[in-house]
Chains A and B, each alone.
Chain A
Amino acid sequence: MSTTSPSTSATTATSSAPLLAVRDLQVHFPTQDGVVKAVNGLTFDVERGKTLGIVGESGSGKSVSSMAIMGLHRGTNAKIEGEIVLDGVNLLDISAEEMRKKRGREVSMIFQDPLSAMHPYYTVGNQIAEAYRVHHDVSRKIAKQRAIEMLDRVGIPNPDKRVNDYPHQYSGGMRQRAMIAMGLINDPNLLIADEPTTALDVTVQAQILDLLQDLQREFNSAVIIITHDLGVVAEMADDVLVMYAGRAVEYGPCKEILTHPEMPYTWGLLSSVPDLTGDTDARLIPIPGNPPSLLNPPSGCAFHPRCPHRDKVPGDLCRTQLPMLVPGQRGEMHTKRCHLPNADAIYAAEVLPVIAPDLAEEL
């Protein structure tokens, strides 16, 4: 299990109370085959105006955690424990009705595939205005006006006309803009973006990320961006949380994690990202194997069956003992869940020369 003390998390040291504090979050789904442990002992903070990037493979628990923050597991058979404190209120303690009132107003979410995430039978304007009207007692006309303003703000041309279009009449990028407009119409303190650019082509991805950054500055909201794309993280995030098999395996400031990763899984993620500006000798190395079963996770460190460095840890520790999420060699801000004693050195000596030879030479 992870450490629950806030002192081990990356950002609490810098300010008093973070906007969102997740403490030892655990989301389990009982099924006929056993308990699926989707999220285990997850602890992190997000501050106002800051962006946290949550990275990991499919099934690592990224989306399940964000759905837990949104309270979207309510009414299902999910067993949730721990604390999700938003602005001083533990979201796991409040009633379903109180949570509903916060949803979309204090914390809102934009989804991966905006075509399936929007209702095909209602106009974009209707769906955006609906998000406004549910939290504000205004007429349809005013809500629609507000929807047009938001569409204009996210860069939809002719918003007063496009407001009456149906989602299928928008392009992919425009639909995601409309989703963002819907997410931000109530000026939420926290915006969760679940793979917001995955379904889009690369140029549109960049536009959407720029837009999110602009809006974040303008609205001063905290953003959690969930992605498997380290490029997105590098561009957007202040802090990074790397998840594997429902647990945080590395957590710290973005620059720190991307330049001095100390967990072999993070190395694997970095190795599998192509670098366009880098050396053509650099190799793309996929992470071997498949994501682990959450029903029956591997013993010890969940990553050990796929870890090429487990031999460097003495005494079969990787297989028998779950490592704690503790600060590595680079200070309190940077925590990792790995038994490797000299991870930074191994990375510099063995991993970096393979994936980015030119960077390794500079060191």
Chain B
Amino acid sequence: MLAYVIRRLFAGVIMLIVMSIVTFALFFASPIDEASFICGKNCSAAQKKQTSAAMGYDDPFAEQWWKFAKGVVQGRDYPDDPQLRETAPETIVHCDAPCLGYSRERGDTVTNLIKDTFPVSFSLAVAAFILWITGGVLLGVIAALKKGTVIDRGLVGLSLIVYAFPTFFVGLVLYKFVAIKWGLTEIPRYTSIAEGGVGGWLSSLTLPAITLAVFFMAAYVRMTRSYVIESFQEDYVRTARSKGLPERTVTFKHALRAALTPIVTMAGLDFAGLMGGAIITESVFNYPGMGKLAVRASQDFDLPTTVGLVVLLAAFVIIANIVVDLLYAVIDPRVRLG
């Protein structure tokens, strides 16, 4: 078990390295002239050249990547210029490990930017996850157990409709009507636990979490329903019935347990994806999360932030994969780790 985890983590690190090389290469190949952005509009050609050299943009790709990778482990200085360090140390920014780069546009290290935005995205992801898992699985199971009835058709039809609505539409409807027009909730503004306590934090999350959750919930209702229905067709459910078990035991002990296994996988990966920020929801509600940061970074051609976010999201997905595989082995005795 432990050996397996270590091996998977090791493989994960290698995947992350490859991932960072690929993202790095993509942006290295982009036509954006980072030096002239930093230098400004009224920059002479000589100044531009100097900036480019000082920022290390003239170095070969491999060296730039190596500096980035070293920065993740050791931290680094921006610009890493020994001469400048002596003459004007106040212009140098030190970026502590794990340093994912320095964003000139935002005037802060990427690590700090992520530190500021991650709690928002994470809170949102957790709140939405709890809502959609309980709601989606519960309603999906109900639909499956009432297969063919009005309840089933209603739930399936409803989730199809909800699934078809774009997230920004649902978000805007909630924002405009529930919060502003009807005043049922406060106008959502992210409040951390430190600012507003657990209550304030939760209530600030309500509308965005619902926005995010309904889409997933709709998908999970239909997915759960089909897994449960499929599970009831299994031979072992017939065996359970033929033993004379009450329908309750047949349903919960035999059919549902098997049906929920694939849902764990889906849920783990979806959750990991969300931790990297819910771009649309955060934008609609103007939440200072990683999704919003990613949007702004890509609008501003903020390469260091973009690369940092991509690598972080990749790390989340890799870790979630490992966790899901471990969970699988706990749920299904046929799965052997190794």
Do A and B associate with each other?
yes
Is A264 close to B, CB under 8 A? Answer: no
CA distance A166 to B333 in the complex (A): 7
Give Cα A118 to B234, complex, Å: 10
Contact with A along B285-307 (1 / 0, CB 8 A): 00000000000000000000000
Query: With an 8 A cutoff between CB atoms, is A249 at the interface?
Result: no
| Chain B positions within 8 Å of A130 at CB level | 243, 245, 249
Complexed CA–CA distance, A173 and B241 (Å): 23
**Could you say which interface size class chain B belongs to?**
20 to 34
Can you name the residue of chain B whose Cβ is closest to the Cβ of A135? B244
Min Cβ gap B158→A in Å is 25
- Residues of chain A within 8 A (CB-CB) of B253 are 122
Check B258 against A119 for contact (C-beta < 8 Å). Answer: yes
Residue among B241, B332, B334 with the highest chain A CB neighbour number at 10 A: B241
Query: Which A residues, 103 to 148, have Cβ-Cβ distances below 8 Å to chain B?
Result: 103-105, 108-109, 111, 113, 116-122, 127, 130-131, 134-135
Contact (Cβ within 8 A) B241 A72? yes
Chain B residues near A111 (CB, 8 Å)? 235, 238-239, 242
A356 at the interface (CB under 8 A from B): no
CB distance from A150 to the nearest CB of B (A): 13
> Any chain A CB within 8 A of the CB of B240?
yes
The interface size of chain A toward B, counting residues with CB under 8 Å, comes to: 27
**Are A131 and B243 neighbours in the complex by a CB distance under 8 Å?**
yes
A70 close to chain B: CB less than 8 A: yes
Give the CA-CA distance A166 to B331 in the complex, in Å. Answer: 13
**A306 part of interface (Cβ distance < 8 Å):** no
A-B contact count (CB 8 A): 71
Task: Kindly list chain A residues whose C-beta atoms are within 8 Å of the C-beta of B244.
Answer: 100-105, 131, 134-135
A116–B257 CB distance below 8 A? no
Question: B240 contacts which of A70, A101, A119, A120 (Cβ < 8 Å)?
Answer: A119
Are A120 and B242 closer than 8 Å at their CB atoms?
no
A297 CA to B335 CA, complexed, in Å: 46
B242 and chain A: residue at smallest CB distance? A109
Q: Select A117's contact among B235, B247, B332, beta carbons within 8 Å.
A: B235
Does residue B31 face the partner (Cβ distance < 8 Å to A)? no
Indicate if B27 sits at the interface (CB-CB under 8 A): no
Contact residues in A for B240 (Cβ distance below 8 Å): 119
A103-B257 contact in complex given A117-B236, A121-B331, A121-B333, C-beta closer than 8 Å: no
Q: Is B254 close to A, CB under 8 A?
A: yes
Pair A166/B334 contact, Cβ less than 8 Å: yes
B246 / chain A contacts, CB cutoff of 8 Å: 100, 134
**What residue in chain A is nearest B240 (Cβ atoms)?**
A119
| Residues in chain A within 8 A of chain B (CB atoms) | 70, 72, 100-105, 108-109, 111, 113, 116-122, 127, 130-131, 134-135, 166, 168, 182
Name 9 extra pairs, CB < 8 A, besides A111-B239, A120-B236. A72-B238, A72-B242, A102-B244, A111-B238, A111-B242, A116-B234, A118-B239, A119-B257, A121-B258
Contact surface of B with A, Cβ cutoff 8 Å: 234-236, 238-247, 249, 253-254, 257-258, 331-334
User: What would 10 A/B residue contacts be, using CB atoms closer than 8 Å?
Assistant: A100-B245, A103-B242, A108-B242, A111-B239, A117-B235, A119-B254, A120-B333, A121-B331, A130-B249, A131-B244
Closest 6 CB pairs of A and B: A104-B244, A103-B244, A104-B243, A116-B235, A119-B236, A131-B243
